[in-house]
Amino acid sequence: MGSVKDLDILAPPTPDRAGTGRFRFSDRYSVFDWGGMPDAIPDKGRSLALMTAHFFERLEAMGIGTHYRGAVEDGRARWLADLAGPSDTLEVALVRVLRPERTADGSYDYSAYRGAPANCLVPLEVIYRNYLPEGCSFLKRLKTGTVRLEDHGLTAVPPPDRPLPRPILDFSTKLEPTDRYLSPAEARAIAGFTDDEFAACLDLLRAANGLISAECQRLGLVNVDGKIEMGFDRDRRLLVVDALGTPDECRFTFDGFHVSKEVARAHYRRTDWYAAVERAKASGGGDWKAAVPPPPPLPPELRGALAGMYRALANRITGREWFPGAPALGTVVGDLRGMTA
């Protein structure tokens, strides 16, 4: 499936019937598009599965469709309230993936989406942005002129610790080798949305972001930004798919400190390995990884603190002590501050 989770297909999807699959969330992690890094973070997989299950169940309670069927325990999919202990596996309804064809001029043909196909993945990834923290890709695109403040109702860049007047919805491709940012009009066109479907898409994204943000505020967290993916069911109704509301899909902060995969990114940005990654990417070569040495593992103390962070977040967000003895989030943040200062 990918660098951090695996997919078991129990029944493949068809044009008029959802398939059945199981996501197995691993303890692997990935930064800077490298793929699996050399070590693993204990209990990361179970923590992520529990957090995304929590948000899927909340969306379902709000009447928003998802592909979630439950967390797997003893071979059966169950709601979190019915689990005896933490699970790293979620059962989901599978939709088809209609991959765009590469054309002779190097662009991609999305004509498969123009006939209003059902039971398929929407070929977009959407990043909602509630803040614009330093170093985020949106600010980099502002500097290059590929995006404009006025297109998002802004007259100036807000400070990184101040929420945006309204969230920015940032669209990119999902099924191309390299993600490509899109204007809303381009996103609507390649996905084959009608006017009503695109309006429903925006409503869904805002509702999901609103849910995650409200939950975070209640728990003393800040939902800085995050990604959401969607699909169509067999009746061409929108579904939230993949995963959401986790520190791998979102950028959360607690007391001004990042409690997400950003902690690992910050560590690696100080290494020679990261400098080699940046040089290789800037060279424009397709196989940039071949020019980069293997990444070093995390220091053991940082790896342990990250494991504590994932466990603490899972306990806090779901409101249940899945990991007895896990440190409080404030304690973890204090430890991480000292290690990453």
Q: What percent of the chain has pLDDT over 90?
A: 86
Q: What percent of the chain has pLDDT over 70?
A: 99
pLDDT tens-digit readout, 42-97:
999 999 999 999 999 999 999 999 999 999 999 999 999 999 999 999 999 999 99
* CA 202 – CA 329 distance, rounded (Å): 33
For range 9-23, the mean pLDDT: 96
Burial 118-155 (b: 16+ CB within 10 A, else e): bbbbbbbbbbbbbbbbeebebeeebeeeebeeeebebe
pLDDT tens-digit readout, 285-313:
668 899 999 999 999 999 999 999 999 99
Q: If 0-12 CB within 10 Å is exposed, 13-18 middle and 19+ buried, where does residue 64 land?
A: middle
Residue with more model confidence, 27 or 340: 27
The second-level CATH assignment, the architecture, of 5-130+167-340 is 2-Layer Sandwich (3.30)
Q: Which of 87, 82, 85, 54 is nearest to 318 (CA)?
A: 54
For range 241-265, the mean pLDDT: 94
Q: At what angle do helices 262-269 and 300-318 cross, to 10 degrees?
A: 160
Instruction: Give the per-residue pLDDT at 132.
Output: 95
Contacts of residue 125, Cβ cutoff 8 Å, sequence gap at least 6: 171, 172, 173, 174, 179, 227, 228, 229
- Reported for 139-144, long-range contacts at CB under 8 A and 24+ positions apart, including other chains, are 141/181
Q: Measured between alpha carbons, how far is residue 187 from residues 2, 119, 315 in Å? A: 24, 19, 36
What DSSP state is assigned to residue 13? -
Domain boundary assignment for the chain: 5-130+167-340
For the chain, what is the mean pLDDT? 94
Give, for 143, the enclosing helix (H) or strand (E). Answer: helix 137-144
* CA 63 – CA 89 distance, rounded (Å): 23
Per-residue confidence at 259, pLDDT binned at 50, 70, 90?
Answer: very high
Per-residue confidence at 177, pLDDT binned at 50, 70, 90?
Answer: confident
Whether 214 shows a pLDDT value over 70: the answer reads yes
Per-residue confidence at 1, pLDDT binned at 50, 70, 90?
Answer: low
